[in-house]
Homo-oligomer: A and B are copies of this chain.
């Protein structure tokens, strides 16, 4: 463990780093550039400034509740200069995974909301399952729930209509070992403004995994699939790319896994105490969650972009 890890990024060091060592900056969204519907003060000026300085900027988010278009609209409303093609969320990337990696032929049993439906539609991926699915009948009926024989994959994303009936159907499909099992992400909570939180997709994924006695393939961070999606469309040099995020177990770990530089911002989920716990754990697998740098807020990078 190098003692130079997790240094505060500020002043001349920040200026040298951003101007000399970085071509591409990847930003997580929730907890980094906004919290719920509140923009992080200064974030638009930082991101617009990076772009004016000639950097590639991408938005890399595990949240599956928005399409690329919805993200671009929210970003623009908050003052960010952004093109839809710079946004890589798990609704979009899950559709890409099914199309390009799994080369799915058949339907998806989908636990998810409108954004996943729209991104699946855009890729021509047929699905069933969204919306409320009330419980009916008794135990014997649940085991006999009708299965569509064309379903070849179960996808778990954020689903406000998650229910026992949906869990039962997912299990029925996943008992066939050839049925693909995919999850958008495993974040345990979705942070909202004011320090409040609601259960994240990870809770639903663990419920389905527990029933199925199988582990889902994860599209989101910390796996490298989202970065692979970016790399397919743009030229990315990992050694000159930095990942900026608020979660050690997703953002920072993904950056480490992909050979990127990493910056933790303290406006979201993880704390410097969490970093310290990983550093002092003596556990090699936890060192990947220690960032290269930290900032209190990405607004701290503003001086390095000026003058």
Residues of B near A200 (CB, < 8 A) are 211
* Contact (Cβ within 8 A) A196 B36: no
Selecting from A88-96, A155-163, A244-252, the interface stretch reads A155-163
Chain B residue nearest to A141 (CB atoms) is B198
- A13 an interface residue at 8 Å Cβ cutoff? no
A164 CB to closest chain B CB (Å) equals 4
How many residues on the A side are at the interface (Cβ–Cβ under 8 A)? Answer: 40
Within 8 A of B (CB), among A18-77: 36-37
Among A140, A164, A167, A200, which residue has the most Cβ atoms of chain B within 10 A? A164
Q: Report the separation of the CA atoms of residues A37 and B143 in the bound assembly, to the nearest whole angstrom.
A: 14
Among A132, A139, A207, A210, which residue has the most Cβ atoms of chain B within 10 A? A210
A82 CB to closest chain B CB (Å) equals 22
- A197 an interface residue at 8 Å Cβ cutoff? yes
Within 8 A of B (CB), among A184-219: 188-190, 192, 194, 196-200, 202-204, 206-211, 213
- A256 an interface residue at 8 Å Cβ cutoff? no
* Contact (Cβ within 8 A) A203 B210: yes
In the complex with contacts A132-B134, A167-B162, A203-B211 CB distance below 8 A: yes
A4 CB to closest chain B CB (Å) equals 31
Chain B residue nearest to A189 (CB atoms) is B211
- A144 an interface residue at 8 Å Cβ cutoff? yes
* From B134, B160, B210, contact of A188 by CB (8 A): B210
* Contact (Cβ within 8 A) A143 B207: no
* From B161, B192, B209, contact of A139 by CB (8 A): B192
* From B134, B160, B198, contact of A171 by CB (8 A): B198
Residues of B near A213 (CB, < 8 A) are 188-189
In the complex with contacts A36-B140, A210-B188, A211-B188, A168-B198 CB distance below 8 A: yes
- A97 an interface residue at 8 Å Cβ cutoff? no
Residues of B near A196 (CB, < 8 A) are 143-144
Residues of B near A199 (CB, < 8 A) are 164, 167-168, 171, 207, 210-211
A170 CB to closest chain B CB (Å) equals 8
Residues of B near A164 (CB, < 8 A) are 159-163, 199, 204
Residues of B near A140 (CB, < 8 A) are 36-37, 192
Among A36, A162, A202, which residue has the most Cβ atoms of chain B within 10 A? A162
Chain B residue nearest to A196 (CB atoms) is B143
Residues of B near A175 (CB, < 8 A) are 197
Q: Report the separation of the CA atoms of residues A210 and B263 in the bound assembly, to the nearest whole angstrom.
A: 26
A–B Cβ pairs within 8 angstroms, 19 of them:
A36-B139, A37-B140, A139-B190, A139-B192, A142-B160, A142-B198, A143-B194, A163-B164, A164-B204, A167-B199, A168-B198, A171-B197, A189-B213, A199-B210, A199-B211, A202-B210, A203-B210, A206-B209, A206-B210
Pairs of residues from A and B, 4 with the lowest C-beta to C-beta distance, nearest first: A199-B211, A143-B196, A207-B207, A203-B210
A142-B198, A164-B204, A171-B199 known, 20 other contacts, Cβ within 8 Å = A135-B160, A139-B198, A140-B192, A143-B196, A159-B164, A161-B163, A162-B164, A167-B199, A168-B198, A168-B199, A171-B197, A188-B213, A199-B211, A200-B211, A202-B210, A203-B208, A203-B211, A206-B209, A206-B210, A207-B207
